[in-house]
């Protein structure tokens, strides 16, 4: 079964707005990663946050991790039409170090 | 640097036929993964290699799926015989280290009729 569960399943916003996606997981982790997938393409790594980190930034991306609540959020600021894609969280570690388990994903649509 | 190469990109077969997918990871990446992604779902790990040894194949349907990674570089994933529910995209990914970021190929889309 999938470790991470994303919420919402789908998100539709206007260009320039912020997009927030959430991920919850069940077991202890070594790190949590976020990936983007454009339609018909492979996944692209966005950001990795370790279990001892609480927040990480990369360009317009901000990721937070709350290990006490077993949850993470991905914030995309000032969204663009090109951000339209599916976003997945993936967890690594616990008893299966190295095994990366993906959630079901959030479909983000950014309207011009 | 060259990315992860996969072939074929598309394959259509009849049920009960066999199919093989090939993956060439990024040079120097010791860890290689095969994922299955059914339409509308997240990728599901089939098998993980560290060099040419299997680390995890707990979700690989071993009665019909097999995978190998000879010499710790290229890998092939085979399905024999295929079932309708095997229709999916098969993604190969590599990583320079365990639990690190994954680099994915474009995937091989399989349709079983």
A17 vs A7: CA distance, rounded Å:
18
Nearest CA distance, A45 vs chain B (angstrom): 7
A40-70 per-residue burial string, b: 16 or more CB within 10 A, e: under 16: eebbebbbbbeeeeeebeeeebbbbbeeeeb
Which residues of chain A make contact with B107, given a CB cutoff of 8 A? 41-42
Which of B31, B91, B101 has the CB atom closest to A42's CB atom? B91
- Residue B70, SS3 per DSSP: helix
A104 vs A107: CA distance, rounded Å:
10
Q: Provide the sign of the torsion angle of the four alpha carbons B66, B67, B70, B72, taken in this order.
A: negative
Give the pLDDT confidence of A53-96 residue by residue, as tens digits. Answer: 999 999 999 999 999 999 999 999 999 999 999 999 999 876 55
Which of B42, B45, B56 has the CB atom closest to A104's CB atom? B42
Please report, in tens digits, the pLDDT of each residue of chain B (113 residues total). 689 999 999 999 999 999 999 999 999 999 999 999 999 999 999 999 988 899 899 999 999 999 999 888 999 999 999 999 999 999 999 998 777 899 999 999 999 99
Kindly determine whether residue B99 and residue A42, on different chains, have CB atoms separated by under 8 Å.
Answer: no
- pLDDT, averaged across chain A: 92
């Amino acid at each position: 079964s999938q470790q991470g569960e994303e919420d919402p399943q789908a998100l539709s916003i206007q260009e320039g707005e912020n997009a927030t996606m959430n991920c919850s997981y069940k077991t202890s982790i070594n790190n949590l990663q976020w990936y983007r997938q454009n339609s018909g393409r492979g996944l692209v790594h966005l950001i990795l946050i370790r279990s001892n980190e609480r927040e990480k930034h990369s360009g317009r991306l901000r990721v937070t991790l709350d290990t006490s609540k077993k949850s993470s959020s991905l914030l995309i600021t000032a969204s663009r039409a090109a951000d339209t894609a599916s976003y997945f969280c993936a967890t690594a570690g616990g008893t299966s170090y190295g095994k990366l388990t993906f959630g079901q994903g959030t479909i983000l649509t950014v309207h011009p | 640097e060259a990315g992860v190469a996969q072939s074929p990109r598309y394959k259509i077969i009849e049920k009960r036929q066999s199919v093989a997918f090939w993956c060439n990871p990024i040079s120097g990446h010791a860890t290689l993964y095969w994922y299955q992604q059914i339409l509308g779902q997240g990728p599901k790990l089939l098998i993980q290699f560290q060099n040419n040894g299997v680390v995890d194949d707990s979700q690989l349907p071993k009665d019909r799926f097999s995978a190998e990674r000879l010499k710790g570089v290229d890998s092939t994933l085979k399905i024999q015989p295929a079932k309708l529910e095997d229709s999916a995209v098969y993604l190969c990914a590599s990583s320079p280290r365990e639990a690190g970021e994954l680099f994915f190929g474009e995937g091989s889309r399989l349709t079983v009729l």
